Amino acid sequence: MGLGDRIQLLLARLAGRPLNVRQMRGFSVVVDNTRPDIRTEDVLERLDESLALVEQYQPWRLAHLRRDLKHIRVMRFPTRGAYFPEHRACLVELTFLNRRDIGPATVASTIVHEGMHARVHRMGVSSENRDRAHEERICRRAELEFGQALPADIGAPVVERAWASLQLDDQGVAPDIDWAEAMRRQNDIDGMG
Protein backbone atom coordinates (compact mmCIF):
# COMPACT_ATOMS: atom_id res chain seq x y z
CA MET A 1 0.00 0.00 0.00
CA GLY A 2 1.46 3.34 -1.08
CA LEU A 3 1.60 6.55 0.91
CA GLY A 4 -1.31 8.01 -1.07
CA ASP A 5 -3.47 4.98 -0.24
CA ARG A 6 -2.58 5.24 3.46
CA ILE A 7 -3.46 8.95 3.46
CA GLN A 8 -6.84 8.23 1.87
CA LEU A 9 -7.59 5.55 4.48
CA LEU A 10 -6.71 8.03 7.21
CA LEU A 11 -9.02 10.65 5.65
CA ALA A 12 -11.84 8.10 5.55
CA ARG A 13 -11.32 7.24 9.21
CA LEU A 14 -11.31 10.91 10.16
CA ALA A 15 -14.50 11.50 8.18
CA GLY A 16 -16.15 8.52 9.89
CA ARG A 17 -17.46 7.21 6.58
CA PRO A 18 -15.96 5.78 3.42
CA LEU A 19 -14.54 8.27 0.96
CA ASN A 20 -14.44 7.61 -2.74
CA VAL A 21 -10.90 8.11 -4.07
CA ARG A 22 -10.15 8.09 -7.79
CA GLN A 23 -7.41 9.05 -10.17
CA MET A 24 -8.69 11.35 -12.89
CA ARG A 25 -6.67 13.11 -15.58
CA GLY A 26 -3.57 13.18 -13.39
CA PHE A 27 -5.33 14.18 -10.16
CA SER A 28 -6.18 12.30 -7.02
CA VAL A 29 -9.89 13.05 -6.47
CA VAL A 30 -11.42 12.53 -3.02
CA VAL A 31 -15.22 12.53 -2.84
CA ASP A 32 -16.95 12.93 0.52
CA ASN A 33 -20.57 12.44 -0.50
CA THR A 34 -22.85 13.12 2.47
CA ARG A 35 -25.98 13.40 0.32
CA PRO A 36 -27.92 10.17 -0.35
CA ASP A 37 -29.82 11.95 -3.15
CA ILE A 38 -26.61 12.54 -5.14
CA ARG A 39 -24.85 9.76 -7.03
CA THR A 40 -21.06 9.90 -6.65
CA GLU A 41 -20.64 8.60 -10.21
CA ASP A 42 -22.66 11.55 -11.55
CA VAL A 43 -20.47 14.16 -9.87
CA LEU A 44 -17.31 12.35 -10.95
CA GLU A 45 -18.58 12.29 -14.53
CA ARG A 46 -19.24 16.07 -14.41
CA LEU A 47 -15.79 16.68 -12.89
CA ASP A 48 -14.19 14.64 -15.68
CA GLU A 49 -16.14 16.57 -18.37
CA SER A 50 -14.94 19.82 -16.81
CA LEU A 51 -11.29 18.80 -16.59
CA ALA A 52 -11.52 17.56 -20.19
CA LEU A 53 -12.45 21.09 -21.30
CA VAL A 54 -9.39 22.53 -19.57
CA GLU A 55 -7.25 19.79 -21.10
CA GLN A 56 -8.62 20.45 -24.59
CA TYR A 57 -8.66 24.25 -24.66
CA GLN A 58 -5.85 25.21 -22.26
CA PRO A 59 -3.61 22.16 -21.80
CA TRP A 60 -0.85 24.33 -20.36
CA ARG A 61 -3.24 25.39 -17.60
CA LEU A 62 -4.05 21.77 -16.76
CA ALA A 63 -0.29 21.13 -16.47
CA HIS A 64 -0.07 24.04 -13.98
CA LEU A 65 -2.98 22.60 -11.99
CA ARG A 66 -1.28 19.21 -11.81
CA ARG A 67 1.86 20.85 -10.42
CA ASP A 68 0.11 23.25 -8.04
CA LEU A 69 -2.50 20.93 -6.49
CA LYS A 70 -2.03 17.76 -4.46
CA HIS A 71 -5.63 16.72 -4.96
CA ILE A 72 -9.18 17.75 -5.79
CA ARG A 73 -11.73 17.38 -3.05
CA VAL A 74 -15.47 17.06 -3.75
CA MET A 75 -17.67 17.69 -0.73
CA ARG A 76 -20.53 19.75 0.63
CA PHE A 77 -19.39 23.33 1.29
CA PRO A 78 -21.06 26.76 1.29
CA THR A 79 -19.38 27.94 -1.92
CA ARG A 80 -18.93 26.41 -5.37
CA GLY A 81 -15.15 26.18 -5.05
CA ALA A 82 -12.32 26.88 -2.64
CA TYR A 83 -8.59 26.42 -2.30
CA PHE A 84 -7.13 25.04 0.92
CA PRO A 85 -3.45 26.03 0.97
CA GLU A 86 -2.58 23.86 3.97
CA HIS A 87 -3.58 20.80 1.91
CA ARG A 88 -2.87 22.21 -1.58
CA ALA A 89 -6.38 21.05 -2.37
CA CYS A 90 -8.98 22.44 -4.74
CA LEU A 91 -12.50 21.93 -3.48
CA VAL A 92 -15.36 21.63 -5.96
CA GLU A 93 -18.69 21.66 -4.16
CA LEU A 94 -20.77 18.48 -4.34
CA THR A 95 -24.19 19.96 -5.17
CA PHE A 96 -22.64 22.42 -7.64
CA LEU A 97 -21.14 19.47 -9.56
CA ASN A 98 -24.47 17.66 -9.45
CA ARG A 99 -26.47 20.50 -11.06
CA ARG A 100 -27.28 19.92 -14.71
CA ASP A 101 -28.49 23.46 -15.36
CA ILE A 102 -24.84 24.52 -15.08
CA GLY A 103 -22.55 23.40 -17.88
CA PRO A 104 -19.15 21.78 -17.44
CA ALA A 105 -17.48 25.00 -18.68
CA THR A 106 -18.74 26.83 -15.58
CA VAL A 107 -17.44 24.03 -13.35
CA ALA A 108 -14.12 24.11 -15.21
CA SER A 109 -13.85 27.87 -14.72
CA THR A 110 -14.24 27.33 -10.97
CA ILE A 111 -11.37 24.84 -11.03
CA VAL A 112 -9.28 27.30 -13.07
CA HIS A 113 -10.08 30.03 -10.53
CA GLU A 114 -9.10 27.91 -7.53
CA GLY A 115 -6.04 26.69 -9.41
CA MET A 116 -4.87 30.29 -9.69
CA HIS A 117 -5.15 30.62 -5.90
CA ALA A 118 -2.92 27.55 -5.72
CA ARG A 119 -0.45 29.09 -8.16
CA VAL A 120 -0.32 32.36 -6.18
CA HIS A 121 0.21 30.39 -2.97
CA ARG A 122 3.00 28.32 -4.53
CA MET A 123 4.68 31.59 -5.56
CA GLY A 124 5.05 32.43 -1.87
CA VAL A 125 2.06 34.69 -1.25
CA SER A 126 0.57 33.74 2.11
CA SER A 127 -2.66 34.74 3.82
CA GLU A 128 -0.70 37.20 5.98
CA ASN A 129 0.88 39.15 3.10
CA ARG A 130 -1.74 39.00 0.37
CA ASP A 131 -4.07 41.57 -1.14
CA ARG A 132 -7.28 39.52 -1.38
CA ALA A 133 -8.97 41.77 -3.95
CA HIS A 134 -5.89 41.76 -6.20
CA GLU A 135 -5.64 37.96 -5.93
CA GLU A 136 -9.35 37.52 -6.75
CA ARG A 137 -8.91 39.68 -9.84
CA ILE A 138 -6.00 37.49 -10.96
CA CYS A 139 -8.26 34.45 -10.58
CA ARG A 140 -11.16 36.11 -12.42
CA ARG A 141 -8.85 37.10 -15.29
CA ALA A 142 -7.81 33.45 -15.57
CA GLU A 143 -11.50 32.51 -15.74
CA LEU A 144 -12.06 35.18 -18.39
CA GLU A 145 -9.13 33.91 -20.50
CA PHE A 146 -10.38 30.34 -20.14
CA GLY A 147 -13.91 31.33 -21.19
CA GLN A 148 -12.54 33.20 -24.21
CA ALA A 149 -10.55 30.09 -25.24
CA LEU A 150 -13.75 28.00 -25.36
CA PRO A 151 -16.22 27.89 -28.24
CA ALA A 152 -18.52 30.91 -27.84
CA ASP A 153 -21.66 28.86 -27.15
CA ILE A 154 -20.20 27.23 -24.03
CA GLY A 155 -17.75 29.98 -23.04
CA ALA A 156 -20.27 32.84 -22.93
CA PRO A 157 -21.52 32.23 -19.35
CA VAL A 158 -17.93 31.98 -18.11
CA VAL A 159 -16.91 35.20 -19.84
CA GLU A 160 -20.02 37.03 -18.63
CA ARG A 161 -19.56 36.03 -14.98
CA ALA A 162 -15.82 36.75 -14.94
CA TRP A 163 -16.24 40.11 -16.67
CA ALA A 164 -19.01 41.18 -14.25
CA SER A 165 -16.86 40.23 -11.28
CA LEU A 166 -13.88 42.18 -12.61
CA GLN A 167 -16.04 45.32 -12.61
CA LEU A 168 -16.68 45.14 -8.85
CA ASP A 169 -14.92 47.22 -6.22
CA ASP A 170 -12.49 45.56 -3.79
CA GLN A 171 -15.20 44.62 -1.26
CA GLY A 172 -17.42 43.27 -4.02
CA VAL A 173 -14.75 41.11 -5.63
CA ALA A 174 -13.34 39.85 -2.29
CA PRO A 175 -16.13 40.11 0.32
CA ASP A 176 -15.60 39.20 3.94
CA ILE A 177 -17.39 35.91 4.62
CA ASP A 178 -18.41 34.49 7.97
CA TRP A 179 -17.69 30.85 7.16
CA ALA A 180 -19.20 29.57 10.42
CA GLU A 181 -22.49 31.28 9.58
CA ALA A 182 -22.34 30.04 5.98
CA MET A 183 -21.83 26.46 7.21
CA ARG A 184 -24.69 26.83 9.70
CA ARG A 185 -27.05 27.99 6.93
CA GLN A 186 -25.94 25.17 4.65
CA ASN A 187 -26.51 22.60 7.39
CA ASP A 188 -29.95 24.08 8.06
CA ILE A 189 -30.84 23.73 4.38
CA ASP A 190 -29.51 20.16 4.23
CA GLY A 191 -31.49 19.33 7.38
CA MET A 192 -34.72 20.47 5.71
CA GLY A 193 -34.18 18.22 2.69
Q: What are phi and psi of 75, to 5 degrees?
A: -165, 170
Under DSSP, the state recorded for 167 is: T
* Chain segment 117-157, per-residue pLDDT in tens: 999 998 877 777 778 899 999 999 999 999 999 999 999 99
Give Cα separations from 1 to 4, 18, 47, 175 (angstroms): 8, 17, 26, 43
Mention every residue, 6+ apart, whose C-beta is less than 8 A from residue 71.
27, 28, 29, 30, 87, 88, 89, 90
Long-range contacts of 152-159 (CB under 8 A, 24+ apart): 154/53, 154/103, 154/104, 154/105, 155/105, 157/103, 157/105, 157/106, 158/105, 158/106, 158/108, 158/109
* Chain segment 65-111, per-residue pLDDT in tens: 999 999 999 999 999 999 999 899 999 999 999 999 999 999 999 99
**Mean pLDDT for the stretch of residues 10-27:** 75
pLDDT of residue 126: 73
% of the chain exceeding 90 in pLDDT: 67
Is the pLDDT at 191 greater than 80? The verdict is no
Provide the pLDDT confidence category of residue 182 given band limits of 50, 70 and 90: confident
Helices (H) then strands (E): counts for the chain? 9, 5
Is the pLDDT at 178 greater than 90? The verdict is no
pLDDT of residue 44: 97
Provide the pLDDT confidence category of residue 3 given band limits of 50, 70 and 90: very low
pTM: 0.86
